[in-house]
Amino acid sequence: MRRRFLMLALFSVVITLTSLGQKMIKVHQFNMMFGDTSRIGIPFAKDPYVINFQGRYLMYYSIPPYKDQSNPIQGWGIGIAESKDLNNWKKIGEITPEGDYEKKGLAAPCALVINGEVNLFYQTYGNGTKDAICNAVSKDGVHFQRNPTNPIFHPTGTWNCGRAIDAEVYRFKDKYLLFFATRDPEYKVQIQGVASAPLNTNFNRDQWTQLTDSPILKPEYPWEGACIEAAAIVQQGDLLYMFYAGAYNNNPQQIGVAKSSDGVKWEKLSNKPFLTNGDPGEWNSSESGHPHLFKDRDGRTYLFYQGNNDNGKTWFISKIEVQWNKKGPYLKK
């Protein structure tokens, strides 16, 4: 199956995807799978982020370099898809590299609607320790103007390597919090940091204050391997909950949860994953990773995440509803 976009609605069925070499994929209890085939001819969509904007849902996600290396657009990019129901998605645009700091690519989007505009936060790609967080703004959610001070943030201090990726910007009380992934000085272990900006910020580089001189979250359990990344934040009551990816891609990456009253000091809810990778033969047997928490206007919360069953040759985005009780989040069985 070779076509520009691939969107499958699946309910506890076994399907055949001919673009994956007649491989049988079992899918249980998932009502959405999205893969963008436009760049390499097979489904590939990572790092989802969803907003409700101008009467529709918009999803931003990472897409790989074009398979055709002669294409004038080089490097990773960000795809944009729209939906009316959170299940059926249609691609409507791309954000491609601009300027020297993005020439190797951009990825891992985060989007906030502020005063009727979309503020996009994303990372540069392929620069090792020099990768940093950038910002752009849009009136229609599709066409973006870069922040003139880009890149707007990278961490300082001896506890990290200077890199910042996987931006998550969240309004909490009297400030915006920027959660980011970085690595230790040896560039081996992925860890989490946090910075803040005032509510009247323009998100320029000089508006951010790093809040700690040490990681706010780091790997400690076997399933987390050497990596904690992709913080996804949602507020329930007075608490913030961070859904995070543990372990590097396909090791397998799985999703855990931590909670905090201030966004700086975090307590993990369990020594086990909240959402695991799938069993052998299932669509996400290689991983369930890079979470995003979307709270809709009706108060319902959805966990969007990426997965695959072929060690990253393909990538799909799916979702599952998260429910809440006094103990925190849970998945309805």
Q: Is the pLDDT of residue 12 over 80?
A: no
**Encoding tokens for residue 45?**
């969509």
Name all domains of the chain by residue range, CATH numbers in brackets. 5-331 (2.115.10.20)
Residue-wise pLDDT for 78-135, tens only, equals: 999 999 999 999 999 999 999 899 999 999 999 999 999 999 999 999 999 999 999 9
Residue 31 pLDDT grade (very low, low, confident, very high; cuts 50, 70, 90): confident
Question: How long is the chain?
Answer: 333
Q: What is the C-alpha to C-alpha distance for residues 123 and 143, in angstroms, rounded to an integer?
A: 17
Residue 21 pLDDT grade (very low, low, confident, very high; cuts 50, 70, 90): very low
Q: What is the C-alpha to C-alpha distance for residues 35 and 29, in angstroms, rounded to an integer?
A: 18
The pLDDT assigned to 201 comes to 97
Residues 136, 120: contact at Cβ < 8 Å?
yes
The pLDDT assigned to 68 comes to 87
Residue 44 pLDDT grade (very low, low, confident, very high; cuts 50, 70, 90): very high
* Higher pLDDT, residue 74 or 318: 318
The pLDDT assigned to 9 comes to 38
The pLDDT assigned to 27 comes to 42
The pLDDT assigned to 69 comes to 83
Residue 244 pLDDT grade (very low, low, confident, very high; cuts 50, 70, 90): very high
Q: Is the pLDDT of residue 29 over 90?
A: no
Q: What is the mean pLDDT of the chain?
A: 91
The per-residue b/e assignment along 84-97, b for 16 or more CB within 10 angstroms, e otherwise, is eebeebebebebbb
Q: What is the mean pLDDT of residues 10-35?
A: 47
Q: Is the pLDDT of residue 3 over 60?
A: no
Q: Is the pLDDT of residue 207 over 50?
A: yes
Phi, psi of 108 (to 5 degrees): 55, 65
The pLDDT assigned to 1 comes to 39
Q: Is the pLDDT of residue 265 over 70?
A: yes
The pLDDT assigned to 58 comes to 98
Q: What is the mean pLDDT of residues 172-191?
A: 98
The pLDDT assigned to 70 comes to 86
Counting residues of the chain whose pLDDT is more than 70, the rounded percentage is: 91
Residue 5 pLDDT grade (very low, low, confident, very high; cuts 50, 70, 90): very low
Strand-pair partners of 135 = 121
Q: What is the mean pLDDT of residues 253-260?
A: 98
* Cα 168 → chain centroid: 8
The pLDDT assigned to 126 comes to 94
Q: What is the C-alpha to C-alpha distance for residues 141 and 53, in angstroms, rounded to an integer?
A: 8
Write the single-letter amino acid at 322.
V
